[in-house]
Amino acid sequence: MVFVPRISSDKPALIVELKWDKSAEGAIAQIKERKYVQALKDYTGVILLIAVNYNKETKKHQCIIEKFQKE
């Protein structure tokens, strides 16, 4: 999922990957490997990569938020 601020670019755009019984680290890796950031190639503000994993057995979640650095 990609969320882009409508009014102001002083708010970050978000790229969110949700996983079920996997890992948040793997979700961040997927965002990078599949180049999801290309969907925001013309966006000039800050982009945050957000990965959330939910563990069905333990009923706990893990979340990683990473600021994307444009090259």
Digit-by-digit pLDDT tens for the chain (71 residues) are 999 988 766 889 999 999 999 999 999 999 999 999 999 988 888 999 999 999 999 999 999 999 997 76
Position 12 in a domain? no
**Rg of the chain taking only CA atoms, in angstroms:** 13
Query: In this predicted structure, what is the pLDDT of residue 50?
Result: 98
Position 43 in a domain? yes
DSSP assignment letter at 6: S
Structural domain boundaries enclosing 54:
2-6+17-67
Position 21 in a domain? yes
Position 11 in a domain? no
Count of the separate structural domains present in the chain: 1
Query: In this predicted structure, what is the pLDDT of residue 45?
Result: 87
Amino acid identity of residue 31, one-letter, is I
Alpha-carbon separation of residue 45 from 8, 28, 54 (angstroms): 9, 20, 29
Backbone φ/ψ region at 35: left (φ over 0), alpha (ψ -120 to 50), beta? left
Query: In this predicted structure, what is the pLDDT of residue 59?
Result: 94
- Which pTM was predicted? 0.87
